[in-house]
Chains A and B, each alone.
Chain A
Amino acid sequence: DIQMTQSPSTLSASVGDRVTITCRASQSISSWLAWYQQKPGKAPKLLIYKASNLHSGVPSRFSGSGSGTEFTLTISSLQPDDFATYYCQQYSNYYTFGQGTKLDIK
């Protein structure tokens, strides 16, 4: 199994901040990585696929980068709607998710 490790587990930030979440794969997954946002009681929503491609309708303040084993999700200027939990997911070999990063208000 490919293990996905996110850091940090929790991140406190303020509206307007630039934040970065890291996801590391236990082996190379090329660019087969997606990012999701989940709010309490709701299903995850796709933000980014193939490491850096923005899904339709997702604000441009979200961006993704990386390849191989190290990836980042960046929110350029936090908005109130962005406080949520974020997950990475690899789809190189079957499908596995990171444990999540909870982004909360400082």
Chain B
Amino acid sequence: QLQLQESGSGLVKPSQTLSLTCAVSGGSLSTGAYSWSWIRQTPGRGLEWIGYIYHTGSTYYSPSLESRVTISIDRSKNQFSLNLTSVTAADTAVYYCVRGGTAPTYFDFWGQGTLVTVSS
């Protein structure tokens, strides 16, 4: 059974970089049929897709976040990561790592989510 588990700092200072990792078990990131996304959720803005990566390393980002986002993949560890730079309080959210298909795609497996708070 596929499982996705987010980890990383739960508290980030404004202007710093938010870093999260998603460990994948029960399946391989190297399978070509899937994309690996980060999606966040806030009470005010709801669910927001951040971007995804394929096993090849190709990435696609939300235009509204593209200038601050990097998603990377580590096939040897079967995990992928999110870096979001220059964070503000508006980046406070629950962050989910999520599996989808090849584009265009819906999202069929979600991690449990991790709360990241941006505060000094």
Q: Which of A12-20, A65-73, A74-82, A95-103 contacts B (4 or more CB under 8 A)?
A: A95-103
* Cβ–Cβ contact B113 & A89, under 8 A: no
In Å, the complex CA distance between A96 and B110 comes to: 16
Q: Within the complex, which residue of B47, B105, B112 is in contact with A97, where a contact is CB–CB below 8 Å?
A: B47
* Cβ–Cβ contact A46 & B107, under 8 A: yes
| Chain B interface extent, by class | 10 to 19
Mask: chain A, 9-37; 1 = CB below 8 Å from B; 0 = not? 00000000000000000000000101010
* Cβ–Cβ contact B111 & A43, under 8 A: yes
* Cβ–Cβ contact B108 & A99, under 8 A: no
* Cβ–Cβ contact B49 & A43, under 8 A: no
Is the CB of A45 closer than 8 A to any CB of chain B? yes
From known contacts A43-B96, A46-B107, A94-B62, infer whether A87 and B47 are also in contact, taking CB-CB under 8 Å: yes
Give the secondary structure class of A's interface.
loop
What is the CB-to-nearest-CB distance from B73 to chain A, in angstroms, rounded to a whole number?
Answer: 19
In Å, the complex CA distance between A98 and B104 comes to: 17
* Cβ–Cβ contact B46 & A91, under 8 A: no
* Cβ–Cβ contact A92 & B104, under 8 A: yes
Residues of A within 8 A of B (CB-CB), count: 22
In Å, the complex CA distance between A60 and B33 comes to: 27
Instruction: Return the chain A residue nearest B63 by Cβ.
Output: A94
* A-side contacts of B63, CB under 8 Å: 94
* Cβ–Cβ contact A45 & B110, under 8 A: yes
| B-contacting residues, A47-73, CB 8 Å | 49-50, 55
Mask: chain B, 83-120; 1 = CB below 8 Å from A; 0 = not? 00000000000001000000111111011110000000
* Cβ–Cβ contact A97 & B110, under 8 A: no
* B-side contacts of A8, CB under 8 Å: none
| Supplied contacts A43-B112, A95-B105, 6 more A-B pairs, CB within 8 Å | A34-B106, A44-B110, A96-B49, A97-B46, A99-B46, A100-B46
Residues of A within 8 A of B (CB): 32, 34, 36, 42-46, 49-50, 55, 87, 89, 91-92, 94-100
Residue pairs across A and B with Cβ atoms less than 8 A apart, 14 shown, are A36-B107, A42-B112, A43-B113, A45-B110, A46-B106, A49-B108, A55-B108, A87-B46, A87-B47, A94-B63, A95-B49, A95-B62, A98-B46, A100-B46
